[in-house]
Amino acid sequence: DFTGKRALVVEDNELNQEIAQYLLMESGLEVTLAVNGKEATECFEKAAPHTWDIIFMDVMMPLMNGYEATRAIRALDRPDAAEIPIIAMTAHAFAEDVKAAMDAGMNEHITKPLEPEIIIRVLQKWIGDKA
């Protein structure tokens, strides 16, 4: 149970937003949604440091893709910007997708549609298991 932890979900597809939100809330997290990388970057910048424990970032989005948004967040001059786990989400897991995610400063790459056991594993790995 990850009650008290908070996730920022950055996803432009409504169905994928709903799946991510449902799975994360089922795990006890509070979820904030952003619909593109620009909104996510602004949201992160305006929020108090350490507002979120993890970010799930879609890669292909209009206005600012997940790689650009990750680089923008990582470049912010505050400790949580460098430390927060940013999880890349794409529809497939080709080696070049994984490499691009890592090159952009993301911590891990997962594929959509999201599955409960993958969400639990990622949460345990990056924000710890309080159970």
pLDDT tens digits, one per residue of 64-123: 999 999 999 999 999 999 999 999 999 887 888 889 999 999 999 999 889 999 999 999
Distance CA 127, CA 96 (A): 26
Q: Report pTM.
A: 0.94
pLDDT for the residue numbered 131: 42
Going from the C-alpha of 22 to that of each of 28, 30, 100, 104, the distances in angstroms are 10, 10, 27, 27
Distance CA 3, CA 62 (A): 32
